Chain A
């Protein structure tokens, strides 16, 4: 029984992934309806789900998926055009399928609910209804379009004749290539059945340069040779000549049959398309190299428009459409097979968590051992201890990496949200995603999803204006929401930017005063006003829509993000748009720390935030003891005495030498004044209990090798404390 459960779990997971893939592909098709890869991926999703549902006897899913699959198959074969309506229907089908799966899991014994049944029927009708409407006419045109380009050349290719197209470049003659000699050589390999010489680009009048070459040849050749053999004839000319070799029909069939043969079962691996075609002789390595070069050139020009390699090959007439298609199909099937085998191991995340905990303990005992070695001065153990320490930190990094996932997947889920919401609100909104490859801890990714959704909905609902308003404001009708992620000093930064109306800080102020968050005579900086957004009970939208704007939310967003030891800030320019920036730590478990001591207490500062350490000497920096500013080599920054801050020490004695650690958070630098610097320390973060949740300036604790506890500083909070305190003070002085 439990084995079956596990299998069902796998099925659900796989189906989820497939459906997510399908959704992405469908959204991609909206922009680019001819993308066969996407169509295939949609088809594959339905096909696989249908197959696996059958295994478990989920008949309702099978029946529904079958209908969708049939339609998708028609699309795939070019018998049906995919358009906006069909994509919408298919998106709904995707949703319906996931509902069906849920139903099969929870109440498999029961009948489908009336609602599900009705949705299913209406979707099937939408799918099928469209079929009959568009079946015959546009289809013909579309399916023929692809082949008409090649038909000209195909006409010449009767039976067993190769067609060779040569276009010599202008420098051929100057480089000592005589086209005639190549053709004479070709003649020795077989019969030239027909040859067409032309010079379509021969200049008119005096512009003709007698030493440039303008000749083009089209040769029908019959000979017992293969593509490689023919290409080698023109080997020396290849720099100065466009060579295309079109195989005879019989040869194409030969290629297809070669592709249809199953590859060696044992060492099945995904061959690249080019490799595959070279192996069967349909292409020569040079043709592939050329196509690849063109692809990379295209990519450099416009990354989005780079074509897949197969398309380029067909375009340069190196390979024939059917051969490429067959090869792609084969590649796909091998890929699937390999995916089905085991390239990935699914691991229970609990097991991973346990591993990380153990690594954490290992780090602590490693530190303890080091201390012992130091204390007893065991020089011969030293070396062993050092190498073990290195290994431990490597294990630590690898273990943490296991939990790192790219944020791209989370980001691309929002495509659907944006699409649906913009339809619902009648707005035109484009979602731009950058930095999707940025990695962060899986637990963080999971927890960031809700706040992100909320922020994006906010941008869609409040930020982007209606098309008419945008036009009136002189902006393009289509609004843009930009999701971006990048790494910055041990943090990941996620930005949600829109080019919408922006926030009106006066309005926020008025509202905040009305809600009693601030008093009317309070002087606030612009940033502080924007921070009010994150207070509970403040919404700037006059009417709440069903998406957002009921005054709950932003405070929850902030709470969620702060629970991840992150921070969120907002910047806005009226008329220009709003940018919300989220700062998150990369991981929640282990960090490289920098240990300092103040008043006999040890503190850990995340190493990634430490800029530099300086000795507190009057020569190097000037201190303003009243306003707590330090002038460090011309740079002015606030500073904080950790001893004062945590122990509330009023009187400080100048007996011992002090040091200052400069930390950076975002753009802000702050100095922490401490008594002693201990240096780098691998820090296992232990969360503090609920009792200490309210403590300011501390984000956690760690156990030192000696068994003592050191506090991990919440640098961000301290930086905010130090700067806010200062800006208040200066405003106070100014007023």
Chain B
């Protein structure tokens, strides 16, 4: 399954195990938007995102916007190399404000 959801200490952890691209954006949006109404804190695990394009990025921006609108905490965790590369390129790391852990296994960008 492309998205795995688990609960831990009242936090919903959503692990996206797929590319975040124009091809998956619609489906992912539909699935993720459900959790915005749960009222619980969300953690999005991006470790499994092997590719991200503008549509995927947009989806993250939208999630962030919606979360703050519903006053729930949303954080991105375990960014994959593909995600970090995009966030760095567009200078958006600061916008999401989540600590990025750079893994030693990544190839030099």
A residues sitting closer than 8 Å to B (CB atoms) are 172-174, 178-180, 183-184, 187, 194-197, 199, 202, 204-206, 208, 210-211, 213-215, 217
CB <8 Å contact, A213 and B54: yes
From B28, which residue of chain A is reached at the shortest CB distance? A210
From B27, which residue of chain A is reached at the shortest CB distance? A210
Interface centre among A180, A196, A205 (most CB of B within 10 A): A180
CB <8 Å contact, A199 and B61: yes
From A180, which residue of chain B is reached at the shortest CB distance? B54
CB <8 Å contact, B53 and A210: no
- With contact pairs A202-B58, A211-B25, A214-B58 given, residues A178 and B90 touching in the complex (Cβ less than 8 Å): no
For the complex of A and B, the 9 pairs showing the least CB-CB separation, nearest first, are A210-B25, A197-B90, A210-B29, A195-B91, A179-B54, A178-B53, A210-B26, A208-B62, A178-B54
CB <8 Å contact, B91 and A197: yes
- Across-interface contacts of A215 in B (CB, < 8 A): 54, 57-58
B45 CB to closest chain A CB, in angstroms?
20
A-B contact pairs, 14 of them (CB 8 A): A178-B54, A179-B54, A197-B90, A199-B61, A202-B58, A202-B61, A202-B65, A204-B66, A205-B66, A210-B58, A213-B54, A213-B55, A213-B58, A215-B58
- Across-interface contacts of A208 in B (CB, < 8 A): 29, 62
CB <8 Å contact, B54 and A196: no
Q: Is residue B44 within 8 Å, beta carbon to beta carbon, of the partner chain?
A: no
Complex CA distance for A213 and B54, rounded to whole angstroms = 8
A709 CB to closest chain B CB, in angstroms?
88
- Across-interface contacts of A217 in B (CB, < 8 A): 90
Interface centre among B55, B61, B62 (most CB of A within 10 A): B55
From A206, which residue of chain B is reached at the shortest CB distance? B33
Complex CA distance for A199 and B57, rounded to whole angstroms = 11
Interface residues in B22-73 (C-beta closer than 8 Å to A): 22, 25-26, 28-29, 33, 53-55, 57-59, 61-62, 65-66, 69
- With contact pairs A195-B91, A202-B62, A204-B69 given, residues A173 and B55 touching in the complex (Cβ less than 8 Å): yes
Q: Is residue B86 within 8 Å, beta carbon to beta carbon, of the partner chain?
A: yes
CB <8 Å contact, B26 and A180: no
B70 CB to closest chain A CB, in angstroms?
10
From B25, which residue of chain A is reached at the shortest CB distance? A210
Complex CA distance for A208 and B89, rounded to whole angstroms = 24
B2 CB to closest chain A CB, in angstroms?
14
Q: Is residue B11 within 8 Å, beta carbon to beta carbon, of the partner chain?
A: no
Complex CA distance for A41 and B24, rounded to whole angstroms = 61
- Across-interface contacts of A199 in B (CB, < 8 A): 58, 61
Q: Is residue B92 within 8 Å, beta carbon to beta carbon, of the partner chain?
A: yes
Interface centre among B29, B58, B66, B69 (most CB of A within 10 A): B58
CB <8 Å contact, B62 and A211: no
Known contacts A208-B29, A210-B28, A210-B62, then 13 further A-B pairs from the complex at CB < 8 Å, ordered by chain A residue: A173-B22, A180-B53, A183-B89, A184-B89, A195-B90, A195-B91, A197-B92, A197-B95, A199-B58, A202-B65, A208-B62, A213-B54, A213-B55
From B89, which residue of chain A is reached at the shortest CB distance? A183
From A217, which residue of chain B is reached at the shortest CB distance? B90
Using an 8 Å CB-CB cutoff, how does the interface string of B75-109 with A read, 1 for contact, 0 for none? 00000000000100111100100000000000000
CB <8 Å contact, B91 and A196: yes
- Across-interface contacts of A194 in B (CB, < 8 A): 91
CB <8 Å contact, A211 and B69: no
From B69, which residue of chain A is reached at the shortest CB distance? A204
From A181, which residue of chain B is reached at the shortest CB distance? B53
- Across-interface contacts of B65 in A (CB, < 8 A): 202, 204
CB <8 Å contact, A180 and B89: yes
B23 CB to closest chain A CB, in angstroms?
9
- Across-interface contacts of A180 in B (CB, < 8 A): 53-54, 57, 86, 89-90
Q: Name the one of A174, A195, A206, A210 contacting B59, with C-beta atoms under 8 angstroms.
A: A210
- Across-interface contacts of A174 in B (CB, < 8 A): 22
Complex CA distance for A386 and B101, rounded to whole angstroms = 95
- Across-interface contacts of B69 in A (CB, < 8 A): 204-205
A599 CB to closest chain B CB, in angstroms?
91
- Across-interface contacts of A213 in B (CB, < 8 A): 54-55, 58
A644 CB to closest chain B CB, in angstroms?
90
B81 CB to closest chain A CB, in angstroms?
15
- Across-interface contacts of A214 in B (CB, < 8 A): 58
From B22, which residue of chain A is reached at the shortest CB distance? A173
A200 CB to closest chain B CB, in angstroms?
11
Complex CA distance for A213 and B61, rounded to whole angstroms = 12
A193 CB to closest chain B CB, in angstroms?
10
From B56, which residue of chain A is reached at the shortest CB distance? A210
- Across-interface contacts of A183 in B (CB, < 8 A): 89-90
- Across-interface contacts of B55 in A (CB, < 8 A): 173, 210-211, 213
- Across-interface contacts of A172 in B (CB, < 8 A): 54
From A176, which residue of chain B is reached at the shortest CB distance? B22
Complex CA distance for A472 and B53, rounded to whole angstroms = 69
A67 CB to closest chain B CB, in angstroms?
58
- Across-interface contacts of B53 in A (CB, < 8 A): 178, 180
From A182, which residue of chain B is reached at the shortest CB distance? B54
From A172, which residue of chain B is reached at the shortest CB distance? B54
A463 CB to closest chain B CB, in angstroms?
64
Complex CA distance for A515 and B26, rounded to whole angstroms = 91
Complex CA distance for A205 and B62, rounded to whole angstroms = 8
A176 CB to closest chain B CB, in angstroms?
9
- Across-interface contacts of B90 in A (CB, < 8 A): 180, 183, 195, 197, 217
Complex CA distance for A512 and B30, rounded to whole angstroms = 89
- Across-interface contacts of B57 in A (CB, < 8 A): 180, 215
A211 CB to closest chain B CB, in angstroms?
6
Complex CA distance for A195 and B55, rounded to whole angstroms = 18
- Across-interface contacts of B28 in A (CB, < 8 A): 210
Complex CA distance for A537 and B86, rounded to whole angstroms = 91
From B95, which residue of chain A is reached at the shortest CB distance? A197
B58 CB to closest chain A CB, in angstroms?
6
Complex CA distance for A51 and B95, rounded to whole angstroms = 63
Complex CA distance for A30 and B86, rounded to whole angstroms = 56
From A213, which residue of chain B is reached at the shortest CB distance? B54
Complex CA distance for A555 and B57, rounded to whole angstroms = 83
Complex CA distance for A197 and B54, rounded to whole angstroms = 11
Complex CA distance for A214 and B69, rounded to whole angstroms = 18
- Across-interface contacts of A178 in B (CB, < 8 A): 22, 53-54
- With contact pairs A173-B55, A202-B61 given, residues A211 and B89 touching in the complex (Cβ less than 8 Å): no
- Across-interface contacts of B22 in A (CB, < 8 A): 173-174, 178, 211
- Across-interface contacts of B59 in A (CB, < 8 A): 210
